């Protein structure tokens, strides 16, 4: 049964799921073009001044693609399940209801994490191409870690909002998820949140609960 659930996720994601890494590639391309533009138009001195002293966040597009990827993957996976009471039927399959509920989440989060790894690895490669030493490149790359966490929060918030049956709860969950993701996306310079990222990750764990609560209400017909 678990294999059948995973195969169903493959069917849903085999085409639409590629849009998430494609968006991240566009974000990487935007970061590369911005670095190239500064170097070609202003010279390497201004480029180093931008990175060392101003700590300009020139990769906003890349940061934004990570939570958007989470929203997209959750929508692709849970929107079909929440149409026509399919999720309610899935929760009554001869498997534990959490297996039916979190099998899609496991697949989606795995794909989102792989896409995040692509983003961080590609970003590090871009910085190496422009001759950035590891002492400078590492803090810049770590600046994107909160955005990856925001992607996971956005995934659960979107899934919970889609699974819920009441519009008011959907709006509350969506607005709360948006506010939390924007908090994680707010940057104060390179590597500014690394020291507290573990605490933010722990604070993000309760985002599993709205999806669990929505599924229980759906299963019980509330």
The pLDDT score that the predictor gives to residue 85 is: 62
Query: Rounded to whole angstroms, how far apart are CA atoms 207 and 76?
Result: 19
pLDDT tens readout for residues 41-69: 887 888 888 887 788 788 899 999 999 99
Question: Helices 97-129 and 60-81, interaxial angle, to 10°?
Answer: 160
Q: How many domains does the chain have?
A: 1
Residues 153-200: pLDDT tens digits? 999 999 999 888 889 999 999 999 999 999 999 887 888 887 888 898
- pLDDT one-digit tens code per residue, 62-109: 999 999 999 999 999 988 777 766 555 555 555 666 777 788 889 999
Q: Can you give the pLDDT at residue 75?
A: 93
Give the separation between CA 221 and CA 70, rounded to whole angstroms.
28
Entry field: residues in the chain? 222
Give the domain extent around 67.
Answer: 1-220
Residue 42: how many CB atoms within 10 A of its CB? 12
Q: At what angle do helices 145-163 and 208-220 cross, to 10 degrees?
A: 10
């Amino acid at each position: 049964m678990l294999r059948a659930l995973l195969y169903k996720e493959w069917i849903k994601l085999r085409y639409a799921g590629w849009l998430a890494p494609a968006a991240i590639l566009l974000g990487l391309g935007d970061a590369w073009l911005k670095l190239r533009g500064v170097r070609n138009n202003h010279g390497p001195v201004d480029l180093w001044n931008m990175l060392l002293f101003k700590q300009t966040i020139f990769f906003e597009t890349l940061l934004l693609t990570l939570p958007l990827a989470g929203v997209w993957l959750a929508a692709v996976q849970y929107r079909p399940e929440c149409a026509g009471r399919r999720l309610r039927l899935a929760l009554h399959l001869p498997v534990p209801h959490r297996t039916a509920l979190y099998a899609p989440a496991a697949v989606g989060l795995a794909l989102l994490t792989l896409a995040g790894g692509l983003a961080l690895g590609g970003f590090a490669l871009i910085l190496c191409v422009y001759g950035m030493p590891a002492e400078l490149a590492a803090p810049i790359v770590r600046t994107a870690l909160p955005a990856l966490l925001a992607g996971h929060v956005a995934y659960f918030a979107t899934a919970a909002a889609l699974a819920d049956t009441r519009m008011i709860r959907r709006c509350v969950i969506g607005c709360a998820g948006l506010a939390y993701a924007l908090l994680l996306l707010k940057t104060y310079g390179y590597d500014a949140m690394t020291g507290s990222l573990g605490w933010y990750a722990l604070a993000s764990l309760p985002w599993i609960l709205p999806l669990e609560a929505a599924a229980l209400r759906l299963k019980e017909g509330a």
